[in-house]
Structure 1
Amino acid sequence: MSHPLEYNGSVNPSSPALEKGHLSNCCADVDAERQNFLDDHELGKKKYEAEYQQQGTASFGMSVFNLGNAIMGSGILGLSYAMANTGIALFVILLVAVLLFSLYSVHLLLKTANEGGSSVYEQLGYKAFGLPGKLATSCSITMQNIGAMSSYLFIVKYELPVVIQAFLGIKESTGEWYLDGDNLVLLVSLVIILPLSLLRNLGYLGYTSGFSLLCMVFFLVVVIYKKFQIPCPLPLEQDAVNATLNTTVSKMAAYFLEHVNNATDYSDDVCAPKYFVFNSQTVYAVPILTFAFVCHPAILPMYEELKDRTQKKMQNVANVSFLTMFIMYLLAALFGYLTFSDNVESELLHTYSKVYKFDVVLLVVRLAVLTAVTLTVPVVLFPIRTSVNQLLCASREFSWLRHIIITVVLIGGTNMLVILVPTIRDIFGIIGASSAAILIFILPSAFYIKLVKKEPMNSFNKIAATLFLCTGFLVMIGCMTLIVLDWINNTSGAH
C-alpha cells in the first residue's frame, strides 16, 4: 500500500499525515522511538482525543496521490496470475466487485470516524469493542504489514538472482551460492535491511513511497510494451534445451522436451484468451485482489490532513484514487496475461526471465523494483515494532536492547517465512484472505454498526452494513478453507 511498494496499512513517511505525527497506532505512552516521528506539539495528545478541529493542509490532488500510493503495491505483480486462473471476464467482474466493496468500506470508515470522534483505526476498535477491538485491529494491521514485508522479500528472492546473472553474464546457474534466492534474501536482510531498521529515525526514507509508485508505473509501461515484442507461443529457450540434451540420455531428453512444450504452451490454441476459467488456483484470485486494494488504515489519517475536509470530499478523493488504481491494475493484469497466457507465474516480473533474462529494459525495471522494496521493508517494519512496543511495554523507557531484539526477531521471522513458504502466491492468498478481508470488510462494518448510534438496526444503512459484515466473513472463511484444501491436495499429490 503505498507509499511503500505495498503500503498495506503501514505508515507512509512521505504523507502529510505522518509529517503531522498521526500514526495509526498512537497510544497514551509515547516511547522514545516514536518521538523521532512526532512533532513536539503532538506529544501531549490524549489517548483517544479527536483532532478534527485542527485544519488539514493537504490539497485534493496531493491526497489523491498519497492514497494512490497507499493502494499501489506488490499486489500488482500477482494480478496477471489471478486473471490466468479466472479468465478475463470473471477477473473483471471480481475486480469491479472488490473496487466497489473497497469504496463502500471507505464510506463506512469515514462515517464512523465522524460519529465516533476518532481518526485512528485502532482507536475506533477500542471505542467499539474495548481492548479486544483494539487488539484485533492492531493484530490485523500488523499481520497485513508482515505480509507486505514478506512479499517484498519474495521479490528479492525472485529477481536478485536474475539481476546478478545478467551482470555476470551467466546464462544458467550451476548451484552457485550467490545465485540462490534464499541466500540472497538473508544477505540483503543482514547487510542492508537490518542496519536501516535499527535506526530510530527513518524520516530520510520519506520519498521511498513516491519512488515505489514511479517504479510500478514504469513496470506497467514495460508490461504493455513487451506484449507487442514477445511472440505467442513463447519461444523455446534453446540454451536450456541444449543443456538438457547434453546431460541426459536421448530418451529422457525427448521426454523432457515434450514435457516442456506441453507446460510452456507451444500450440496456437494456448494463445487464445480465455474468458471464464475455473481450476484449483482460481481460489487465489479474490485474496490477491483484496491484498492489492487494502489501504484502509491510511484513510483516516489522510482524511484528517485533507484541507477543508468533508466526508464527501474525502470520499471523492477515494473514488479518484481507487478508480485510477483500478485502471492500472486492469491494464497490468490484461497485458501480462495476454503476453504469457496460462504460463504466467504468481509474480509477473519473474515470468519475463523465461524469454528475456538479459533484456536491458527489464533489467532496469528489476533494479528499480529491488531498490524500492529493499528500502521499503524498514519503513513497513517501523509501525510493527512500535505496535509490539506499545502492547508489551508501553510505559517503559526506550531500551536499545529491546529495540534490537524486536527488530531482529521481526526480520528473522519474516526471512524464515519467505524461505519456508513455496511461492509469493501463498503470501498473497493467506494475507489477502485473512487480514486484508478483515480490514476491508469486517472491521469497518462492525465499527459502523456499533458506533453509529443515531441509525436503528432496522435502517437501510445498518442492514447494508450487516450484509457487508456477513460477506466479509464468507470471503475470509471460504477463501481460507479452499486455500488450505489446495495446500493439502498439493502436499498429498507430492507424495
Structure 2
Amino acid sequence: MKKFLADELTKCKMQDSQHATVPLLPELNRHNSAGTTSFLKTIFNGLNALSGLGILSVPYALSSGGWLSLILMIIIAATTFYTGLLIKRCMEDDPCIRSYPDIGYKAFGSTGRLIISILMNLELYLVATGSLILLGDNLHRLLPNVEIHVYGDIVIGGRQSLVLLVAIVMMPTVWIDNMSTLSYVSATGVFTSLVILGSILWLGVSVDGIGLQHKGVLFDWNGLPTAFSLYTFCFCSHAVFPTLYSSMWNPRQFSFALLLCFMLCTVVIASMAILGYLMFGSDLQSQITLNLPTDRMSAKVAVYTALLNPIAKYGLTLKPTVDSIENHFKWLRENRSRSLFMRTALVGSSVVLALMLPFFGHLMSLAGSLFGVPTSILLPCFCYLKISGAYKRIGVESAVIVFAVSMGIVILVFGTYTSVLQIVYNL
C-alpha cells in the first residue's frame, strides 16, 4: 500500500513538472495533497478570475444583439457554469489532476494536453494584446497630444505612441519570475469592477448626469454573432478552475462556490450592459470607457480604475505562455539572456499585433469565439465524456452536454467568421 501511494505521488509530481499553471494568488499555486483555501477566499479568487476585460465590452455586446440577447447571455453563463462542474468531476476521477492540461492528458493523452495548452496560451496572448489596445485607446482620450520623437524628423503620435509607452512600462513585469506581488495587485479585479459599475451608475442617474434615455432595439440578427462571442469571452476562466478546486480546504464546497461566483459575475455584467445601453444606445463603442465624458469626476474614476487592472495583470497574463515556451525549449530557461530576449520578443509581437489590429471589440470577440468556446465549453464536455464514459449512456446529462456542444459549435463558427470579417473590413 505504501509503495502504491509513493508511486502515485511520484507520478503526480512528474505530471506537475510537465506544464505551467495559470498564476493566481501565491497560496493557490501550492500543489499540496490537501488545499488550505477557505470557501470565502475561493469565491473571491473565482470572482477575480472572472472579472476581466469583458466587463468593459458587454454594453457594446448588448447594443450589437439587442435587449433579447440578454437571454442568450444568461444561457451562456449557465452553460459555462455547467462545464465548470464537468471540470470538477474530471478532477475527482484522478487525484493527480492539478491543472486544465492535466485533464486533457487524462482524456486524450499528450495530444489532449498539447491542444488545451495551445488554446489556453493563444487566448491569453490575445487578452494581453487586448490590454494594450484598451490602454492605448483610453490613454489617448486622456492625453491626446502625446508624441514620441525618434531620430529628429520621425514622430510617432497618437494612440500608437501610447501603446509603445505602455508596453515599455509593463515590460519588466514579463521579465520577472516571482509574480507574488503582482498576484496580489491583480487580485483587485472584483474591486475595480464594482468601482467602474458604481461610477457609471452615478454618471447615469445623478442630477447632472447623462441620463438613461436610450431605448435601444429589441433584437438585431446582424449583431448577434458579435454579442454571443463577447458574452462568451466574459465567462472564459476555466483554465483557473482546476487550481481553485485543488486549493480548497473542502473541495466538496467547490460547486456551491462556483455557483455563487457565476451568479454574482452575471449580475455585475448584466448591470453594466443594461446601464451602458440605456445611457448611450447604439452609439456605444467597443469599450464603454470611450463613451464617457472626460470632464466628469465619476467618468475619470471609471476610466482610471479601468486602466489599473490591465496594467497589473499584463505580466500575469503572459506568464503561462512564457512558462510553456521555456518548458518546451529548455535552452531558453538555462540562459537568462536568452530568456529575457524571448520575453521581450513576445511583448514586442503583442505590440505589433495591437498596432496592426487596433480593434478591441473585434479582437476580444475573436478570442471569445475561437479560443474561449473550445476551452470553456467544448473541451470540458469532450474530456468529461471520455474520462467518465458518459458517452455510453443516454439520459438527461447526455442531452445537456449535446446542447452545450451544439451551442458552442454555433458560436465558434459564426462568431469566428463574423469577427474575422469585421477585422478584415476595418483594415
> Could you say which TM-score interval applies, normalised by the shorter chain?
0.7 to 0.9
Task: Tell me, in whole angstroms, the C-alpha distance in 2 between the residues paired with 1:55 and 1:10.
Answer: 18
Q: Does 1:407 align with 2:343?
A: yes
Cα deviation digits, residues 217-243 of structure 1 (max 9, x gap): 10000111111244469xxxxxxxxxx
Task: Tell me, in whole angstroms, the C-alpha distance in 2 between the residues paired with 1:405 and 1:13.
Answer: 25
Offset of residue 463 of structure 1: 4.8
Offset of residue 85 of structure 1: 1.5
- Counting only pairs closer than 5 Å after superposition, residues 285-324 of structure 1 correspond to structure 2 as 285-310=227-252, 313-324=253-264
> SS of the counterpart of 1:207?
helix
> Of 437, 458, 474, which residue of structure 1 is paired with 2:410?
474
2:277 match: 337
Offset of residue 373 of structure 1: 1.4
Cα deviation digits, residues 161-187 of structure 1 (max 9, x gap): 222359x9xxxxxxx968611111111
Cα deviation digits, residues 256-315 of structure 1 (max 9, x gap): xxxxxxxxxxxxxx8333222233x332111101111111111111111112221xx211
Q: Does 1:458 align with 2:380?
A: no
> SS of the counterpart of 2:221?
coil
1:56 match: 35
The 8 Å contact of residues 203 and 211 in structure 2, kept in 1 or not, is answered as no
1:384 match: 321
Cα deviation digits, residues 356-376 of structure 1 (max 9, x gap): 223233223322332331121
Calculate the TM-score normalised by the size of structure 1. Answer: 0.75
Offset of residue 381 of structure 1: 1.4
Offset of residue 116 of structure 1: 3.7
Q: Does 1:201 align with 2:178?
A: yes
2:214 match: 271
Task: Tell me, in whole angstroms, the C-alpha distance in 1 between the residues paired with 2:227 and 2:301.
Answer: 29
Task: Tell me, in whole angstroms, the C-alpha distance in 1 between the residues paired with 2:157 and 2:306.
Answer: 18
User: Structure 1 residues 372, 486: CA separation in 2 closer, same or farther (over 3 Å shift)?
Assistant: closer
Task: Tell me, in whole angstroms, the C-alpha distance in 1 between the residues paired with 2:421 and 2:142.
Answer: 35
Q: Which amino acid in structure 2 is aligned with residue 98 of structure 1?
A: I
Q: Does 1:359 align with 2:299?
A: no
The 8 Å contact of residues 55 and 305 in structure 1, kept in 2 or not, is answered as yes
Q: Percent identity?
A: 20
- Counting only pairs closer than 5 Å after superposition, residues 76-155 of structure 1 correspond to structure 2 as 76-88=55-67, 90-117=68-95, 118-155=97-134
Task: Tell me, in whole angstroms, the C-alpha distance in 1 between the residues paired with 2:66 and 2:405.
Answer: 28
Offset of residue 344 of structure 1: 0.7
The 8 Å contact of residues 81 and 258 in structure 2, kept in 1 or not, is answered as yes
User: Structure 1 residues 487, 144: CA separation in 2 closer, same or farther (over 3 Å shift)?
Assistant: closer
> SS of the counterpart of 2:321?
helix
Offset of residue 450 of structure 1: 0.9
Of residues 436-445 and 221-230 in structure 1, the stretch that sits farther from structure 2 once superposed is 221-230
User: Structure 1 residues 455, 449: CA separation in 2 closer, same or farther (over 3 Å shift)?
Assistant: closer
Q: Does 1:188 align with 2:166?
A: yes
Task: Tell me, in whole angstroms, the C-alpha distance in 2 between the residues paired with 1:231 and 1:290.
Answer: 29
2:13 match: none
1:17 match: 28
The 8 Å contact of residues 79 and 333 in structure 1, kept in 2 or not, is answered as yes
1:264 match: none
User: Structure 1 residues 339, 121: CA separation in 2 closer, same or farther (over 3 Å shift)?
Assistant: same
User: Structure 1 residues 227, 387: CA separation in 2 closer, same or farther (over 3 Å shift)?
Assistant: same
- Counting only pairs closer than 5 Å after superposition, residues 169-180 of structure 1 correspond to structure 2 as 180=158
Unmatched runs of 5 consecutive residues or more in structure 1: 1-8, 23-50, 169-175, 234-269
Task: Tell me, in whole angstroms, the C-alpha distance in 2 between the residues paired with 1:61 and 1:205.
Answer: 21
* Total equivalences in the alignment: 398
Offset of residue 426 of structure 1: 1.4
Task: Tell me, in whole angstroms, the C-alpha distance in 1 between the residues paired with 2:173 and 2:306.
Answer: 18
Task: Tell me, in whole angstroms, the C-alpha distance in 1 between the residues paired with 2:338 and 2:402.
Answer: 42
1:257 match: none
User: Structure 1 residues 231, 365: CA separation in 2 closer, same or farther (over 3 Å shift)?
Assistant: closer
> SS of the counterpart of 2:240?
helix
Q: Which amino acid in structure 2 is aligned with residue 274 of structure 1?
A: V
Calculate the TM-score normalised by the size of structure 2. Answer: 0.86
Q: Which amino acid in structure 2 is aligned with residue 142 of structure 1?
A: N
The 8 Å contact of residues 122 and 137 in structure 1, kept in 2 or not, is answered as yes
Offset of residue 93 of structure 1: 0.5
The 8 Å contact of residues 326 and 333 in structure 2, kept in 1 or not, is answered as no
2:7 match: none
Task: Tell me, in whole angstroms, the C-alpha distance in 2 between the residues paired with 1:150 and 1:443.
Answer: 24
- Give the RMSD, CA atoms, in angstroms: 2.5
The 8 Å contact of residues 287 and 433 in structure 1, kept in 2 or not, is answered as yes
Q: Which has the larger radius of gyration?
A: 1
